[in-house]
Amino acid sequence: MSETVLLIGGGGREHAIARALADSDCTLYAAAGNRNPGIARLADGFETLDATNPQAVTTYANEVDASLAIVGPEAPLEAGVADALDEAGVYAFGPREEQARIETDKGFQRRFMDRHDIPGCPDFAEFTDSEAACEYIDEYDGDLAVKPAGLTGGKGVRVIGDQVTAAEAKEYIRDSEYDRIVLEERLVGEEFTVQALVANGDRRVTPAVQDHKRAYEGDKGPNTGGMGSYSDAELELPFMDREDYLEAVDILEATVDALEGYKGVLYGQFMLTADGVKVVEFNARFGDPEAMNTLPVMETDLLDVLVAARDDESLPQLSFAEQATVCKYAVPDGYPTDPESGAKVQISPENAGDARLFYASVDEREDGIYTTTSRSFAVVGVADSISDAEAIATEALERAGTDGLRVRWDIGKPELVQSRIDHMTELRGE
Ligand code: AMP
Ligand code: GLY
C-alpha cells in the first residue's frame, strides 16, 4: 500500500524533508502557517493553517487520509500536535508534548539529565525569582549562560563573558518577563550537532554538523536561528576526533534510554570542551539548518524509517554518502534586529547551478518570490570536501545575486574551518 504522508511545517528544514520524501513511493501533503513555494511544488497539496492548533492539523490529516505524519518544528510539538495525531490514528514521527519538554523546557532538560546521570551536564540552577538569579550571578565563581526556560527560537540566551557582562546579564533578567530562568556554567569550546532518528527503542545517528548562530561574519553580533552550517565527508568534523563524536553519540543514547518510548528526532547540541563533550541543549526535531546538511547526503529512504517507526519495527540502518556539505542562509538586510522585507528573490531552482535551494520564509506573489522579515532561503553545496561544497554554495548565490539579502560568506571557508581547529588545539593544550 502506498503511504500518504503529512508534513507539518513550512521552513527550510521542512523543504529538505519534503525533498527527501519526494522521490519515495508516497503521496505528500503539507501544512504550515506560511506557504513555502518549494514544498508546495513537491507536494500534492499544501494547506495554510495554524500548525500549533492540534484540531486544525488532525482535521487536515483526516481530510487527506494521511497514513503517517512528520512534524518539523518545535512549536507544534509543544502544542501537543503529535499527541493529537496519534490519538486520531495518524502516527506522528515526532515526540509527544511531555517528551518534547526535553527541548521546550530547559529547566526540565537539565533536571532530567541530572536525575538520570546523563553525562555532559554543566552546573546549573533554576530560578523563578529574578533577584535570586542575580544574586547567584554575583556569587558564582565563573561565567554563566542565562537561559529563559521556555522556547525563544534560539534567541533568548545571553552568555556572560561572551555576549554580555555580568551587569548586562542581570539587567536582562530584571527587564525580562520570563517566568523561569536557568543559569548554567558557561561552556567554552566548539559547538557541534548530532541528530538521531529514534523509535521503538532504536536510534540511528547522523553525521556531525556545525551551525553558526551569530548573525555576522567572524561570529559577531546577536544570535539567530542559525545562519548556515557544514558537515564533512565523514562522521566527525575537522576540529574533532572520532572519539569525540562517539562520546556525543553515547550521550544521545543515554538520553533516548532515559526518555523511554521517545519517537522522532532527538537533536543534541554539544560543546567540545577541554574536558570532553558537554550538552548545550537537546531539541526534539531536526535542526534548521542542520537538516539541510543531513538529508541531502542520506542514502537511506526517509520513508522507510517513518514506516518502520510506525509499524513498530526495527529502524533501518542509515547510510550516508561520503560527501561534505555547506549550507548558507540568505536573510533579509537588517536581520535579525531590524529586518527589511520585500526584496525580490533572484535565485530559483533553475539558476541555482549545482547547489540545492531550500526556501524558508518567503512570500510568493504573481510576479515572483519576495523576502519577509525571517530567514529567506538556503543554498547547499554537496561535494567531496568542505571547501568544494562551500564554493558551490557561494557560486549559486553570486550568480543569482543577493540584493536586499545578507549572507555569512565566511561559513565553510577554509579560514573559518581552520580557526575552529586552532581553537580546539589551543584549548586542549596540544
Ligand atoms: P540554545 O538556545 O540553548 O541553543 O542556546 C543558544 C546558543 O547559546 C548556543 O548555541 C550556544 O552558542 C549558547 N549557549 C547556550 N548555553 C551555553 C552554555 N552553557 N555555555 C556557553 N554557551 C551556551
Ligand atoms: N540549528 C539550531 C536549531 O535548529 O535549533
Using one digit for the tens of pLDDT, what is the confidence trace for 158-204?
999 988 999 999 999 999 888 899 999 999 999 999 999 999 999 99
Q: Which ligand is nearest to the CA of 289?
A: 2
Residue 42 is predicted with a pLDDT of 97
Residues with CB under 6 A from ligand 2: 154, 211, 226, 283, 287-288, 290
Which segment of 62-71, 87-96, 236-245, 342-351 scores lowest on mean pLDDT?
Answer: 342-351
- Residue 286 alpha carbon to ligand 2 centre in Å: 8
Measuring CA to CA, which residue among 62, 133, 367, 331 is closest to residue 217?
Answer: 331
Say what the pLDDT of residue 350 is.
87
Q: Mean pLDDT of all residues in the chain?
A: 96
User: Could you say which DSSP state residue 162 is in?
Assistant: T
CB of 206 within 8 A of CB of 296?
no
What separation in Å is there between the alpha carbon of 107 and the centre of ligand 2?
Answer: 18
Q: In what order do the strands lie in the sheet with 202-205?
A: 202-205, 190-199, 264-273, 276-283
318, pLDDT greater than 80: yes
Could you identify the atom of ligand 2 that is nearest to the CA of residue 225?
A: 2
Ligand 1 atom closest to the CA of 186, numbered from 1:
20
Tell me what the mean pLDDT of segment 203-212 comes to.
Answer: 98
- The 10s digit of each residue's pLDDT in 359-397 is 999 999 999 999 999 999 999 999 999 999 999 999 999
Residue 1 pLDDT more than 90? no
Quick one: which ligand is closest to 329's CA?
Answer: 2
Nearest CA-CA partner of 61 in 77, 49, 72: 49
181 C-alpha to ligand 1 centroid (Å): 14
3-state DSSP percent of the chain in helix, strand and coil, to 5:
35, 30, 40
Report helix, strand or coil for 63.
helix
- Name the residue of 269, 327, 375, 408 whose CB sits within 8 Å of the most ligand 2 atoms, as the mutation to test its pocket: 269
pLDDT of residue 225: 87
**CA contacts within 13 A on the Cβ side of 401:** 6
Distance 104 CA to ligand 2 centre (A): 13
Of 102-116, 167-181, 198-212, 241-255, which range is least confident? Answer: 167-181
Place of cell 535551494: 357
258-274: average pLDDT: 97
Q: Answer yes or no: is pLDDT of 105 > 90.
A: yes
Domains of the chain: 3-97 (3.40.50.20), 123-185 (3.30.1490.20), 190-419 (3.30.470.20)
For residues 275-292, one letter each, b for 16 or more C-beta atoms within 10 angstroms of the residue's C-beta and e for the rest, the string is: eebbbbbbbbbbbbbbbb
- 389/232 Cα distance (integer angstroms): 10
Which residues lie with the beta carbon below 6 Å from any ligand 1 atom?
A: 122, 145, 147, 154, 157, 159, 184-187, 191, 213, 223, 269, 280-281
Omega prior to 336 cis, within 30 of 0: yes
Pocket test for ligand 1, best of 110, 140, 159, 211 (most atoms within 8 A of CB): 159
Closest CA to ligand 1's atom 11: 280
Confidence of residue 153 (pLDDT cuts 50, 70, 90): confident
Q: Which residues pair with 125 in a beta bridge?
A: 183
- What pLDDT was estimated at residue 155? 76
Which atom of ligand 1 is found nearest the CA of 155?
A: 2
Which of 164, 221, 202 is CA-nearest to residue 408?
221
Asked whether the predicted pLDDT for residue 265 surpasses 90, the reply is yes
Instruction: Give me the mean pLDDT over the 208-215 stretch.
Output: 97
Closest residue by CA, ligand 2 atom 3: 287
Q: What element of type H or E holds 159?
A: strand 158-159
Q: Count Cβ atoms within 10 A of the Cβ of residue 395 and give its class: 0-12 exposed, 13-18 middle, 19 or more buried.
A: middle
Q: What is the mean pLDDT of residues 36-43?
A: 97
